[in-house]
Structure 1
Amino acid sequence: MEAAQAALAAEHAAAYGYGVIGARTSGAPRAAEAREAYGGHLARRDALARTVRELGGSPRPAEAAYTLPFTVRTPADAERLAAVIEERVAGAYSDLVRAAEGRLRREAADALSAAAVRAARWRGVGVAFPGLTERASAAQN
């Protein structure tokens, strides 16, 4: 339940962040990517809310606003924010993959993979173990 709620919270934050990203991206291809990612996060958010209910919980509501990790003024900032958001979403789904089994585990693995692909597209490069990058960095410090 805790991992599902954390993934739901990550999806709420991602949807919020993509509102900012959509307002700052430039060019039709990037705007289309932002819209597609936004829609994907909304769909996963709704699916996770149903999952939490099926597990007997009450879905965590979205916050009114979220603090962004940095100020987003330019299209380059928007792209960097999108990559950060996707890395955070991948981390939440990585935890859900570890905690879940069966159908939920497969869905979490699919969401982890999708977030990793989007992060790589936004950043221009991928990572070997998406969802674990921040944990590896924290362990080394």
Structure 2
Amino acid sequence: MSGAQDTVAALQAALAAEHVAIFGYGVLGGHVAPAQQQNVTLIWSTHRSRRDRLRGYIQSAGGRPVAAAAAYRLPFKVTSASSAARLAATLEDGVVAGYAILAGASDPNLRRYAAQAMQEAAVRGVRWRGSAPTEAFPGLPSNALSPKPTE
């Protein structure tokens, strides 16, 4: 793949993560405590804004933004405020992972955008969990930072 194709692929991964987050917050919004409703709406809007910006980046790079699915399979059923918070933290982990590749883009503006998105998502994940992370890079799978074997 060329550098431009790699960048578009990284943008698409981040966009796909935003699609999932938007869907997930729509599901969990009805289960959070009334005091959290405004916060959920604000976070949902933030993900929508990031989605729209990513679409613009992809189109500017000559790509066609990946469309959102009609629905996504969530990792567990949301039935309470507790499970809603757990899903929100999981969604934010997915957003961190979705932007991880984009953080290595050659364009410094995209790297900065990805790093900021990852930082914000990691902070939201910590807040939803209500505790400090136990891993060095919250939201990233532990093997994401492992060196990949060469052939």
TM-score in terms of structure 1 length: 0.90
Structure 2 distance, partners of 1:103, 1:81, is 30
Superposed CA deviations along residues 71-121 of structure 1, whole A, max 9, x for unmatched, are: 111110000000000001011111210234311111111100110010011
> Residue type of the partner of 2:143?
R
Structure 1 distance, partners of 2:43, 2:132, is 17
> Residue type of the partner of 1:101?
D
Q: CA RMSD of the aligned region, Å?
A: 1.9
Please tell me whether Structure 1 or Structure 2 has the larger radius of gyration of its CA atoms.
Answer: 2
Correspondence 1:1-141 to 2 at 5 A: 1-28=8-35, 30-127=36-133, 128-135=136-143
Structure 1: segments with no counterpart, 5+ residues? none
Could you tell me whether the CA contact under 8 Å between 1:117 and 1:126 is conserved in 2? no
Secondary structure of 1:24's aligned partner: coil
Counting helix residues as a fraction of each chain, which structure ranks higher?
1
Could you tell me whether the CA contact under 8 Å between 1:94 and 1:131 is conserved in 2? no
Secondary structure of 1:60's aligned partner: coil
> Residue type of the partner of 1:39?
S
Q: After TM superposition, where is structure 1 displaced by more than 4 Å over at least 4 residues in a row?
A: 136-139
Q: Identity of paired residues, percent?
A: 45
Rate the CA distance shift 1:20–1:94 in 2: closer, same or farther, 3 A: same
